[in-house]
Amino acid sequence: MNLLLLFLDFLWMKFSISLGKQIKFGWPSLGTMNLLLKNFLQDCWEVSPLLIKGSANNFDDKSSIFSSLRNSLGCRMNANALAMFLGQLVSCPPIASDELDIFSFLKEVDNSLGSPMTYENDIRVVKTPKFTSESIQHAVKEEIHFFKHFMDSELVEKFSFVKSQEALQDGYTIALRGMAFRIVEVAAIASGLSNLFGQPSVGANIYLTPPSSQGLAKHFDDHCVFVCQLFGQKRWRISPRQVAFLPRLYEPLCGLPSSKYEDDGCMDVLLREGDILYIPRGYPHEAHTIGDSKEHDNKSSSEFSMHLTLGIEVEPPFEWEGFTHIALHLWNQKYKKYSAYPIDHGMQNQRSMLVNMLHITLRLIADKNVVLKKACMVAALPFSSNTNCYGEHILLLRQKTTFDYIIETIDNSSSFSETLLYITTTVHEGNENSLQWMRWLRHLCQEEEEKEAFDKPLELLKEFLLLNSNHIKEVAKEFTEMKSEFCGSVFFEDVCDEYKMLLQKYKKTRKQYMNGMLSLHTCFL
């Protein structure tokens, strides 16, 4: 089943109108798309890799998004044209994940807009050498960077791109980041996928690799990827993932797990033009192009490989942990609004501290429970349509079942002593960075003073310890009562609307940024 191909064809139908393209009829219906996505979510999403074969014919269809993208990139396969193309690209300054004020961001980066690309942020030129008889004993392949003196994200001057031909001839891969901000066809695919999976945005990188070469060393990502082979061929090797391992976005990645039986359960895949490979986050993988051998088509024996990688980045507010933080916040706001008793400032302050303590408890539970790290799919396309499809009700019911499981886990697994130890240690070390995960909570509907508390959570925790250090037993009782109250009265349906509103805020900012960078590149290309 050409699952993702149908997704992308559907997206092309939806977004190509804005690109001025002519559309053919006969595309999959929304109901069919929902069914396909449902099957994908059940069987593969964040669980196991998937290879979609046999989609090369799509390149012959001029109304296909892949065909349009290939045509726009086809001329770049020539080394001279590539060098010229790279020299015309400008830097796309990174925007903070929780930045929702595009004008504030533009004011900060105003002086750098239109600047040449920076190394690491916009482009990498890298290769991974093959094992030699000496290095194979260590069983670790390390990346080598062509522009070694640009390792500190210095500006990459245009004259450096003349050397891109030399780099390709020497086996280096050119990796271009942020392609959704540079090419309108890539932007269309990325926007479509973000809507399909109910996420704020999708990252997009392009990799150009010469024959018989490997670019990136073996690694795993903190986000799921769809690898779309545009030109040539590439062999991929995907190793098994550790049980219950789902890395969070933006968190430091630990080293690759060593395994005596690493070859057991590996997936070896040869991607040909038009093929798509889905790799969930946390799966170690590496890829290399091939030279003249029997394992590939003769017609592609001397071709470069170019593939587009689409990264579905599940940001903290849109994991199940994030959904549950929103649930806790809404529950507390509703309590303050409808409380039958007046709440004085002291009581309100103490309650806010206990709620924040419960937020921390939730975080500690999520550290050990992979379900809370999974993507919340409440805003994914099948759940957001207005049809009364039975299949959609089943999918939503499963989302509710997941939430009910999380609430039950909080009720049974919350540890006041563990949370108190975390707070005490954090305050003692003065480690504000360990609380950065809370900052996005300031974007939820609340009073201004409550927002400020999430901007500087360490100060609030210091105050909590100062006021409560002499009567911990009473605080523990209050905490347990609040936790039980929350778990017994929170409702899944109440949270969905607030969750979707927050998602739209994120999507609006990302869309503004993407459109601005596309316009900027239109001026240069």
**Residue ranges of the domains in the chain?**
3-314, 318-490
* pLDDT 10s digits, 283-294: 999 999 987 555
Could you please report the per-residue DSSP string of 254-267?
Answer: PPPPP-TTTTTT-E
Number of other residues whose CB lies within 10 A of the CB of residue 203: 18
Element (H, E) at 325: helix 320-338
pLDDT at residue 108 greater than cutoff 90 = yes
Cα dihedral sign, 159-162-168-171: negative
Tokens of 133: 């008889």
Tokens of 487: 């778990």
* pLDDT 10s digits, 375-428: 999 998 765 555 555 556 677 888 999 999 999 999 999 999 999 999 999 999
pLDDT bracket for residue 366 (50, 70, 90):
very high
Q: What percent of the chain has pLDDT over 90?
A: 49
> Tokens 């507010």 label which residue?
317
d(CA 374, CA 366): 10
pLDDT at residue 1 greater than cutoff 50 = no
* pLDDT 10s digits, 135-147: 444 556 788 988 7
Pair 181, 88: CB distance under 8 Å: no
Q: What's the pTM? A: 0.88
Looking at residue 25, its pLDDT comes to 36
Fold of 3-314: Jelly Rolls (2.60.120)
